[in-house]
Structure 1
Amino acid sequence: MYTEGEHAYLTCSAEYKETMDIIYVNYNHGTCSHNGPYGIRNLCNGKTNCSFDVSNSNIGSSCGANGIATLEVRYNCIRHGGWSDWNTSASCPVTCGGAFRNVTRTCSNPFPNEIGDTCSGEASDQQSCNTNMCIEATWDEWSLWSECSRSCGSGIQTRLRQCLNQKNTTDGYVSDCVGDGTESRSCNTEVCPYCHDNHFQYTSIQSSSSLKEDISSGYGYLLLNGIYTIKCCGRIKMWEFVPVNTGRLTFVIMRTTTDNKYKCVGSNQIDITATDLRKSTQFDVSEDKRIVITKGDIIGWFDSGSNIVGFHDCLPNNYMCPLSYRLSNAIREGDVVDVTSLSGTSDRSYTVNYSTVENRPIAFDLPSKPMQIPDHINIDALVMAISISDQDYGDYIQDFKLDYDNEYFYFDTTMRNVYVKKKLPHTVGQMSFSLNITLTVQDSCYNEVTSNVTFVVYNAPPVISGLQNNLEVDPATAVSEPYITQFQVKDPSGDNISCMINETNAATDLFYLQLDDIGMTKNNNNVYLKLMNNESIQSNTSSQFILTITCEDGTENTEFELKIKFQTKNKGTPTIPSTDSNAIPIIIGVCAFILCLTILVICACIWKRRRKLVVNETSEDKLNHATCSIAAGVTENPYHDMGQTAEQHNTNDYVEMSGKPHAKEKAFHLGTTEVGAYTEAWR
């Protein structure tokens, strides 16, 4: 058991040249548990000794959290067998002229362990002996074996030898060598890993009245061992069989999960009618239903109990007869079957063959353009999710090859996400960097797909918050206030920031900016807009100024527009907000409501008065005597020294911009949510 941040050491026997096979990984922190073995497997599999740092990137997981996560690794040490020296103690059958003697060797240097491979090659051979010249003709040494005719699937090698001293008698009689001058042997007998476009025929498929029917109860069979065990990878494109009963037949492919347990990874169905009975039947599987097969898979079938597939009896010890297990019920895709719970038999040869084609590689679903990310995101932050698709039925991912040498990113094989490995590069004055991560994935047939994912890491501009676009200032009180308004500025990357008044709509030196740190600021500091000369305000009491303020961090800048209007306000006069686009609908609505209310009050007073007048009085007299009063307790709003009308945002709203707006786009909006509001700021 190791802890995140420690250095893990895994070792096997160097004396016996053992190699590792990672079988179990548990990387755990709280509720986050990672069991994918791919990262450590790629680091350690096939090695005698392996050491690595316990980290998210090496394990291929984001479960780590600052040295808290724990790692448990289980592995096997595989010891493959090795040949001993040849035993040459056998005697030579001749004393001259050359012959061959048998030599043997054993797979004992070292002996393989229970999970290792036995020695490949022949345990016996022939070596020439007593090659000294005799009077009779003799053979020359054999030539070297030729190259194998096939790289897998059993090829042929040949070698040659020449007969020497054929004319070796005094009378010129030709004495020929005994034996053949050529020799051949099998080579590369291991099964090819790829099925390709092949037909696997285990029994003779033909119409036959001698086929037997299974009359026992049950649904079907799984063929566990022998010739029916699949030894290559590809896809099933055709089933061939001879039916002896009607009904729906379902072929299945089962894949081993643990000892004696198999999982159904795919199935194909065909309906058998009376016209198909005891005839060779070929079922061509559609492209989308061709099941992926890999080495070690087994085939089987089931039906409704009518036992559709016919069979022949097998003689004892006939290798053509597999060990078959009777199914007690139907199998669905994803079901797991423990064969130890089923009854078995090995005295039948079933009339089932199949054909294959190659499988298709998996694919990455990546954006067509590089993904852009800011340079200030945190370590272990999610960058993007990688979509991996496989169009083959029943296929799976065999392995991930991780980009261990990548400096800035790592890939979580379980979540299939890319995360930040270390702080991203950032240089003041450089707007962006281009970074990559390489992802390689293998499917069940070892089809390998590699893709480069490109990220553009950019510098985020300064962020503005707490800003108002429109200010209405009373000159009479502005001279006593420390500033007109304030806002906050922050750089996400922590760079120094400077702010300045870039331009105005009129030539004036009335305003200036002051930052918390004189001239420059970091983090979330205040910026104040102040008056340069308070005494000159009186001459600008009816002026409106449009200021363009720019804040920059040495790489990018954020620019916004601020409107300031000086307007003298009388005591006792309600403050009226400036008519910006958001305030106008509110003002119109309020005025309309007040007008309607006034009309209703007047009408009510007139109606009440008319009831008291004589019926024959004229309408004019009635109106002359009508009175209406409003409650004396209603007072007007007190006048405030300074009123502000603005498009106001929450203090935590901010905006990121990369460059100046176009010349025609003078108005600058802050944040993603804009709320027009009338506020009165007390300074």
Structure 2
Amino acid sequence: MKSYFFWIDGAVCTSGQTTGKLPTTDRYDTASGRTFVLNSLDNDYQIYCCGFVSSWEFFVTTTNGTLYAQVWRQVSGAWTLIGQNSFDVETTNFNGVFTGPVTASQQISVQAGDFIGFMSSGVTIPSYQRTNAGVGGSNEEVIYSDTATGTVGSTAVFSSYTTNSIEFSIKSTLSPGNTPQFTSLPAASSVDEDTPVGTTLITITATDADLSDNLTYTLTSTNPASASFNFDPSSGNLTTLTTLTVGITVFSFSVVDLCGNAVSSTFTLTVANKPPVFQNLPNTTEISEDLSEETELFILTVTDPTVGDVVTCSLNSTVPTTNDLYFYYSVGRSRYSIYLRGGASLDYDTAREYLMTIDCTDTKDSVSSTFVVYVAKNEPPVITNLPGSVSVSPNTIVGTSIFTVTTTDKESAQLFYNMTCIPSECPFKIFACTYLKRLVSKRETCSYAGAVLTESSVVNVTEPGFDLYIYVFDGKNLVGPKVLTVQMKETDSTSTSASTDWLSTDAKYILIILTIFAGLATFAVIGFCVLVFKKSPKSKSRNIIKTKHFP
């Protein structure tokens, strides 16, 4: 009793599934190089599934040569050779079933509706039997061609075989084939948000052990959905269509062969932002503790590599906390700066440095850096030419400079002088800061500060000498006293007359009055300067970084 198996058209072949027959044969065709397609109407030699031919079997009588086991398909009405496997038959194979396994790379890809057939290099190798003793319907008829070339992809014209009701002894064993595998689909990758439009992000490729298989690539999903990407199945290229948005996108891809064997995988793309870049931080500066004018200490330079990103910055913290320093954005100059506030009261002994933390963001990423303000201790001025002594002639006229005090100051601050005298009735004075001169730098300075002059006539002075106790003040430190000893020379009547006779009596009185007024003005200015130093100076914006001189 015969058993018949029917397969669903288009289904994937299962391993071991067969097409064809191996009947007991007693006849063979004697033609040479003939090609047969076994398209009998009972469809015993038709393939009903999608897969691959993994092996062939056929019965050999006493004919040797090369057998080409073939698969044929009707394409647009023409019989087309889809593939073939060749086997060399030797005499040792006579009168037995020849089994020919096919390696994966040589397996023929088949579809439902294909027929098996064969071609012999010489006399037809597979034998056949006649059903119903050669009498019956046409269900067992086959077709043949003596002109088919045996070239895969070629077509041939076939005719009905003259002998009907026959079954050839040939059978194919089928398999579902191999599942394709991705070969160039990375798990993840990252790009910058300014990646140019049209950039190829990845190229997907896959391989299949079944070399005759055709593979189809599909982008199955994009999460989150985005119109910024394009996938070309023919090339496997994933490219950018628009400017990218910072974030993570997961792409799901699949590759399918002709029989529906498929594999899926994902690709995670991270679009990264290029954060702002500090061009001149971290950085430091040093200022004197006596600086109290509003001063621009530092100009911040920060850039962002991404075109179109706007960077904003802010002062995160100042350690220790102080109101003397502040962070400011100038709209007119389009820049951020660090300022010393006007009226600042820096003190080296209280805080020697301030650590300022600056934050900048482009709304996607934030960066931080630091700026340190070091406070330099104010060094007292140093009088370099005292103690000292000087001799003064009684003929010296009023207003004559007898000595100039020289002083150095590390901060180059404005210096103010004062003095006391023993004995107290002293005909000398010191210029504190009575003559103010504006320089090119627009900074006021005392031109003659430190000059010791005769304030009144020394003609009738009877004291043999005076000790002048001199002080210098830099606005923060008062230094002194340092002693200048003035020795009075003995009176020379001849020279005295000669030195004073040229002045009229009225001129002498006028000179004395001017000298008195000059002395009063000197003390008035000294008092004013001391008051100025005790009060905060008016704020003036200075575009500097280095320590400023005391004004």
TM-score by length of 1: 0.40
Higher relative contact order (CA 8 A, sep 6+): 2
